[in-house]
Amino acid sequence: MFSAVMALVLLTSLLIAFAVLSKSEPSIAGNHARSLQARAMAESGVEQAIWALSSSSVNTGAAPYDGSSFVSVGTIGGFFVTIANGTATNEKVVDAVGWSPGNSTTGTRNAHRHVRLTLSKIKWLNPPAALLIEGNVVTSGNAITVSGAADTSCGPKNGAVASGSIYTNGTPTILGGGGAAPELQNVPPTTMDQYMFTNADLNMLKSIAKANGTYYQGSQVFNSTNPWPAHGLVFVDTADGQNLTCTPPGVGQTCTPAASDLSTVTIGSGGMPTLNGWLIVNGSIAWSGTATINGLVYAVNDIAVSGTPTVNGAVISKNLIDTSSTSIDSTFAGAFTTITIDYNCANTKNGGGTIPVGWFIKAGTYREVSD
């Protein structure tokens, strides 16, 4: 008898609990649905910001991109979005607050979510010359052409610009375009640095190359048996994948990690396809073969050319590591070979269309925040 009473009490308690849950469950489910919709609205705000930043006809400093206007998305909700400058010129901070189904804080059935992130895009270096060298550069021989005259669609361009001296042995052809001087020497490093990638820029380029399967680590040899890709962003990183920081600039500097970690890319004899894109090397380039690049060639350290290259774009050397105040940092020796570097705006800017130019969410910056 006692057991039967206890069982009846237990069953009654369960029935009451189920009855209560049956009344609250729809409310809980509704709240959860509105919360998810509010987050979707916030992400719609992010997409709107990306679209606005990519459109040259939109003023991203005015409403609705200053957070002052509610952008309605039908009957399911909407968002507020704010676009602010980031820490770098190619970064923007986006705050997007999504609401569902309305944006009133007095409504008990309204939900909102706040998303904050940083958008970034690949920096357009816009180099002032076909050949840009931090440090000293020497050209040897008569069969060398470095020209900024082939394409002036991005404005007047010098042939060669260096923060040190430009030495010539022989009679190379160095031309400026659009009235620009053929050569500029002893340009201040602070001026040169604006045409160089920062470590943050390099990290973004790495992530894109990794996603596209064109990322390499450690020293590489590209030749007929190991050709580079035919298009896109080719990134050759240091041995351990870390960017170097060297201080102070010049002789006697200390580099972290060790300078020996820098990679070297050797470009050997022919048989490779033309690379339509960018070659970015977190180290040095030794070019002894015949190959063509329609795009940007960028070395964090030195460039030594003794082969027969053709670059329709631009060549840049940051010369991160100095070993001597009188050393030649980059060399272009064309005594028995033909070296051609012709500036091309579109190739330098986006590899002729193979380099993405849009805005991306910077890795590690996306998060939901409280008001």
Tokens coding 315: 């060549």
**pLDDT score at 159:** 96
Could you give the CA distance from residue 283 to residue 244 in angstroms, rounded to a whole number? 9
Strand, helix or coil for residue 250: coil
DSSP letter (8 states) at residue 80 = E
Cβ contacts of residue 336 below 8 Å, gap of 6+? Answer: 141, 143
Place of tokens 């050797």: 266
CB 241 within 8 A of CB 195: no
Residues 6+ apart with CB under 8 A from 207: 363
16's CB contacts (< 8 A; 6+ apart) are: none
- Give the CA distances from residue 75 to residues 37, 72, 99, 154, 344, in Å, rounded to whole numbers and listed in that order: 11, 8, 11, 46, 50
For the chain, where are the alpha helices, taking DSSP H only? 2-54, 189-192, 199-212, 345-350
Asked whether 132 and 341 are in contact (CB, 8 A), the reply is no
pLDDT (0 to 100) of residue 360: 86
* Contact (Cβ atoms closer than 8 angstroms) between residue 160 and residue 185: no
Task: Compute the distance between CA of residue 139 and CA of residue 5 in angstroms, rounded to an integer.
Answer: 102
Q: Could you tell me the end-to-end alpha-carbon distance of the chain, in angstroms, rounded to an integer? A: 59
Distance CA 210, CA 233 (A): 10
For 44, phi and psi rounded to 5 degrees?
Answer: -65, -35
Q: Specify whether the CB–CB gap between 307 and 267 falls below 8 A.
A: yes
Measure CA 301 to chain center. 19
pLDDT at 258: 78
Residue 338's pLDDT is: 85
Secondary structure letter of residue 344 according to DSSP: -
Query: Bridge-partner residues for 267, per DSSP?
Result: 222, 287
Query: Rounded to whole angstroms, how far apart are CA atoms 75 and 48?
Result: 18
Question: What CA–CA distance (Å, rounded) separates 174 from 360?
Answer: 38
What are the average pLDDT values for consecutive 10-residue runs of the chain, which has 371 residues?
A: 68 64 58 86 95 90 94 92 92 95 77 94 93 91 89 96 90 93 94 93 92 95 94 95 80 76 88 94 93 96 90 94 67 77 96 90 89 72
| Cα three-residue angle 114-119-125, rounded to 5 degrees | 165
- Kindly report the number of other CB atoms within 10 A of residue 167's CB atom: 14
Instruction: Tell me how far apart the alpha carbons of residues 302 and 314 are, in angstroms, rounded to a whole number.
Output: 15
Alpha-carbon gap, residue 148 to 141, rounded angstroms: 19
- In whole angstroms, what is the distance from residue 345 CA to residue 130 CA? 10
| 3-state SS, residue 306 | coil
Cβ–Cβ under 8 Å, residues 168 and 141: no
Residue boundaries of the structural domains of the chain:
2-122+359-369, 129-350
Q: Which residue has the tokens 């998060």?
A: 367
Amino acid 1: pLDDT: 65
